[in-house]
Structure 1
Amino acid sequence: MRERSRVAAWFAVLLLALAAAAAHAVEAIDDRGLRVQIPRPPQRIVSLMPSLTETVCALGACGRLVGVDDYSNWPPPVAPLPHVGGLEDARVESIVALRPDLVLVPTSSRVLPRLQTLGLPVLALEPRTLRDVRRVLQVLGPVLEAGDPEAVWQAINREVQVAAQKLPPALRGTRVYVEVGSAPFAASEGSFIGELLVRLGAENIVPATLGPFPKLNPEFVVRADPQVIIVARGDAASLRGRPAWQRIEALRRGRVCALDTDQMNVLMRAGPRLGEAAHLLADCLQGRLGAGSPGR
């Protein structure tokens, strides 16, 4: 009788342990549409995209990061972490050596299939729009069991609204060209940068039909004749050397907003600093930031 009681008690403890484990288990649907089982809140996270790194930190789980991609540099606590490569050249051996219990990876990463083959727990997320930013927060919050995803999103949204309110009505409808790469690649209406411009009341010269970040024929920009150009500071000096670009209104009137590296990082990352990005765009539209040389 005592033996049966001991066995029954052991089973009861086991069932309680299993129930506790199940209570912590989370099922997340990633950007591939795959259902990923996360058995417990991850404590050793590797992030392979700056916006995902910043989102983890915004949710209060920065201390769980054990490795990041080569471009993750904010917030400051991630700087001393091991860096394991970029989108095209992530070092799988270095990732494995960190013994992660979760790897956050963009869907476009070349190492994604290999990480899965090795049996590493992988969640593929790649925010490209404002809606995506909110969705990634909503996915990661329960997975990490950290932070308040909706509070983070509302803080972003409030800052975007504040940025829009400080833009004078006379500047609404300003035609804007945002260059994100010197080929040139641009941010279209369909990108999160384009969506921010819409929220501010500006007009993006690059339509969403070309894709979020299309490579443009430079003549397209000349024909669209933007009133403001936003570009990385290192590329600003070359704009006048492009055929016929001297005719563009933004260059004739010196309305080129040249952003430094840190500012471009804020603008280019679809994550928790998008409110700050909206303020950068508003300041550029008002000529208060990164002014280029006046026209000659």
Structure 2
Amino acid sequence: MLRHAIAPLRRFTKASHDVVRHPGLSSDAKILLLYVQGLPECESARPLGDHAAKLGMKTRAYQRAKELLEACGYLHVWRWQGEGGRWSTDQLLSNVTLTREEASRLRNGAPPEEPPNERTPTVGEPDQRIVGAPPKEEREKNLPHPPSEAPDAAAPAPEGEPEAELAAAERVLLSLRHSNRQLLIGVREARGLADAAAEWLRRGIPAAELRHALTTGLPADGIRSAVGFLRYRLLHKLPAAPEAPARAPHGLVICEGPGEDHVFRPVGDETHCGPCRIGPASRPRPPARVVSWRTLLQEGVPGA
């Protein structure tokens, strides 16, 4: 078999080999998945059945493709009852397999836990362009998710620098919009909340955990005020301050008091043990002498 392939420079959809070569997916399921992944944002909110109808799929073929996508973890469906008893359906179609927990996190607006990168990146860049690959400027232009202009929110703040903690907290607040558009706030609003967010960092909470606490479990009916919602969570979910570490006990030292050498464990900077500081009153009394009545008669007791 001969093959001729040229990578397109525009109007293309990136397809993983895991999807194209998946043995458990039919051709209809693969085409439907790739078709939806290439849709613009304005059309992605429509039901999956509408897109299948545009592709010319019959009802039975669509139901079969839908069942395979659900069984393989690419499609997740939720049915819920809203106000007035009206039922609604939410659908999440992903180009990677997701567990039910991971899909629920995405549905609630939280970022999924990224798997570790198993591939070691190659040092340096190739000197020549690979045959069939688009130029570098075209690849940057066609990125599905362009890099954020906000600084890295997960960068740790230097210890003991309040201004650095405030800056790190402000970066976390400004980056929340990447997890959920409802949490979009302005720079001035972020500065107003930065002190409350910085208190989390001062208590040893990493920036990633702070972001997770602010973006998970969002209200089902939406957020009316992003600033009010974030302020409430920052104040009411603030973790307890870490306990101060217990002071290590002092070691044993030799008492400078009279008598034979003996050691004790001081509480502060004392040089004498407790009995030596109290004096002879603390020393044990000698045992009382026990004398029998015969001895008393022999020695003679006055008045006997």
TM-score, normalised on structure 2? 0.25
- Which structure's residues are more often helix, by fraction? 1
Higher relative contact order by CA 8 Å / sep ≥ 6: 1 or 2?
1
TM value normalised by structure 1: 0.26
